[in-house]
Chain A
Amino acid sequence: DAKTTQPTSMDCAEGRAANLPCNHSTISGNEYVYWYRQIHSQGPQYIIHGLKNNETNEMASLIITEDRKSSTLILPHATLRDTAVYYCIVRVANSNSGYALNFGKGTSLLVTP
Chain B
Amino acid sequence: EPEVTQTPSHQVTQMGQEVILRCVPISNHLYFYWYRQILGQKVEFLVSFYNNEISEKSEIFDDQFSVERPDGSNFTLKIRSTKLEDSAMYFCASSRQGIYGYTFGSGTRLTVV
Contact = CB atoms under 8 A, between A and B. Distances in A.
A93 B56 CA distance: 13
A49 interface: yes
Contacts of A32: 99
Main secondary structure of the interface of B (DSSP, over half): strand
Interface in B26-68: 31-33, 35, 42-45, 48-50, 55-56, 58
Contacts of B105: 43
Contacts, number: 72
B101 A97 contact: no
A103 B44 contact: yes
A101 interface: yes
Size bin of chain A's contact surface: 20 to 34
A112 interface: no
A38 B105 CA distance: 12
Given A44-B91, A94-B98, A100 B107 contact: no
Contacts of B31: 98
Interface of B: 4, 31-33, 35, 42-45, 48-50, 55-56, 58, 89, 91, 93, 95, 97-107
